[in-house]
Amino acid sequence: MVSKLSAQTDSQVVSLIRGLSMDAPLAAKSGHQGTAMALAPLAHVLYSRVLRHDPSNPEWKNRDRLILSNGHASILQYASLYLNGYGLELEDLKKFRQFGSATPGHPEVGHTAGIEVTTGPLGQGFANAVGMAIAERNLRARFGASACDHNIYVIASDGCLMEGVSHEAASLAGHLKLDRLVCIFDDNSITIDGPTSLSCSDDVANRFSSYGWKVMQLGEIANDLDALEDALLTARTNRGAPTLCILKSHIGYPSPDFTDSHEAHGNPLTAVHVSSTKRIMGIPDEPFWAPKQLVDAVRQHARSRGQKFTADYERDVSDLEDPHNWRAAWETPGSSSFESLLPIFDSTSNFATRQVIQKALDASLPALPGLIVGSADLTNNTGTKLAKQTAQSATAPDGRQIYFGVREHAMGAAVVGMALHGGVLPVCGTFFVFADYMRPAIRLAALSRAKCIFIFSHDSVGVGEDGPTHQPVEQLASLRAIPGLQVIRPADPNETIAAWCAAVDHHGPTALILSRQHVASVTDGSAVKFGAGIVGEPVAAPKAVLLATGSEVGLCATAQSELKNEDVQVQVVSMPSWDRFERLGQSEKTKLFPQGAPVISVEAGVTFGWHKYADQTIGIDRFGASAPGAIAMSELGISVDAVVRRVKDL
């Protein structure tokens, strides 16, 4: 194994990181240098002694993952990536937080090499790490340690552990006994407002112990590199539980003006303050001090370590008995690999689309070795139940069914972490109204282009008797507003099958919006490919176009038949996906909407957004009501009679 850097080099590297952690925010007039300064020794120990990583191959599958959950301290990670040769250079650090730079204010996966997840909203990165640990263990259990055997490290702040998502995620990790997960809690007792005593008196150690975590009290070793190394190497060998390392640090250290001050959380250091701190550290008082000899030494050390790790791995993985499934899990075969296995529905079929998705999941499972499915205590209700599959657990880590419990916040973020880890295609489900609990994770999934699938059933006031608290009306509009999120609300069984294929083929996150109630098969499913399509035969010179999604497509088809009996011709268009429709050329769009025919949208939710496509709208611009589903729909204006009347009134 590669020898360590000298003690003198280590000391200079820590000072260099601290210097850059002050210089970049000073140049940007924006940033958070305090935590980065305090954790410079930790970052250096992680990258130079603990992490198994290869800067020349940032996507190496078996690398250790490091997540900076307190992403506001991004300059700490950027400085480390620069030093270790991940492609960042001083010019990138000088453009910290500037438009188009490789060093944005918070780490963004896919934007900067070496960043594993997009962090910033506190607690999300911690929960992402739990998902990564689930993925790592499942792959190791199924394909062997030669294929997958690494650790997940996450640095978390007081703020991360205050956020509710951390409670759910920590509870889940403890229950599953995810022993390749190591969380380093930066216990500096500071938030933006001031000392944590203003708002929090949690006993973090006992809290995590109660979840089933192994807790290590590291104490005052934030500046002791050897002690940090010993602690982290011990933590990664703990078995039977995830590990929390509580590290007491001093924000802003070694600033003579802002150490242990809540002001150090932001950007208080002037050039004078930076100079006085550099004087204490004994480094030149010059911006972005980074002597080439020192940087080259660190990079050479990182390169030598990394090449040894990857060479050993490639030798071991070449001996796998079944490398095809291992590689297929990572590559996620497209829908063409399982289309022939999927059920086909004729006009007599009548299923809730949540039932159809379950059939699609089971049918495609043999062709998708990375598929893992779970739900937040609504497994059968949402169709996210894999038949005859073992539940994921500490004793069955190879299970491909996950019971997340009543933890939507953690489920959403964990699924994003699983997707960004790679090797798995995670699918999770809950009632659509609870998408609100998952919105931060869904937004970050879209921002990071995480390939995961969110299944939301009970998609309208058709939920029925549970009433307005459980009847989504505004959720569909809110998800459609998220850039980069593919949203599909299929009309019937055939569109549901097509929607599943579209989700698997999409390079990013997808939300599938499914019905509780049964719906008849009225389409051939082709509308999903283009985002919209004519139901049945095109109508020449229609009086109106009925534009609908989900169960309302069948309703419009019935209205079309009634109107036809009265010699009124209308065309029905199913529009399962706005975002896919927007990819069409203008000529393709206009084919669906004959010139001169007014368009009436019909959807059991708020009408917000529909005016882009429709001249008139039928929807529900109020909260729902407790009643049997069909009655709730009718009383709130979603009925065949309401559609027929609207057309006649034109």
**Which whole-number Å values give the CA distances from 42 to 63, 68, 77, 225, 565, in the listed order?**
18, 12, 11, 7, 76
* Tokens 């990182």, located at residue: 302
| Gap between the Cα atoms of 366 and 329, Å rounded | 11
Sheet containing 533-534, strands listed edge to edge, beginning at the edge strand earlier in sequence: 533-534, 570-574, 544-548, 599-602, 616-618
Query: Cα separations (Å) of 460 from 32, 43, 53, 371, 472?
Result: 44, 48, 47, 28, 5
Q: Residue 107 class from Cβ within 10 Å (0-12 exposed, 13-18 middle, 19+ buried)?
A: buried
Residue among 497, 362, 354, 491 at smallest CA distance from 431: 354
Cα 628 to chain centroid distance, Å, stands at 35
Look up residue 605 and give its two tokens: 């939710």
| Residue tagged 């089933």 (tokens) | 212
Q: How far apart are CA 602 and CA 251, in angstroms?
A: 56
Burial 244-260 (b: 16+ CB within 10 A, else e): bbbbbbbbbbbbeebbb
Q: Decide: 565 and 581 in contact? Cβ < 8 Å.
A: no
Computed over its alpha carbons, how large is the radius of gyration of the chain? 27
588 annotated active-site = no
**Residues contacting 425, CB < 8 A, separation 6+:** 332, 368, 370, 371, 372, 419, 451, 452, 453, 504
CA atoms within 13 A on the CB side of 129: 37
280 and 50 Cβ atoms separated by less than 8 Å? no
At which residue do the structure tokens 């972005």 appear? 288
State the DSSP H helix or E strand holding residue 246, giving kind and residue range, or none if neither. Answer: strand 243-248
DSSP secondary structure of 542-598: -SEEEEE-THHHHHHHHHHHHHHHTT--EEEEE---HHHHTTS-HHHHHHHS-TT--
Work out the number of other CB atoms within 10 angstroms of the CB of residue 348: 7
Question: How close are the terminal C-alpha atoms of the chain, in Å?
Answer: 80
Sign (positive/negative) of CA torsion 317, 60, 116, 9?
A: positive
Catalytic residue among 408, 495, 552, 603: 408
Helix (H) or strand (E) holding 185: strand 181-187
Rounded Cα distance between 17 and 564, Å, is 74
Which amino acid belongs to residue 107? P
User: What size, in residues, is the chain?
Assistant: 650
Place of tokens 């990790």: 173
The residues annotated as belonging to the active site are 408
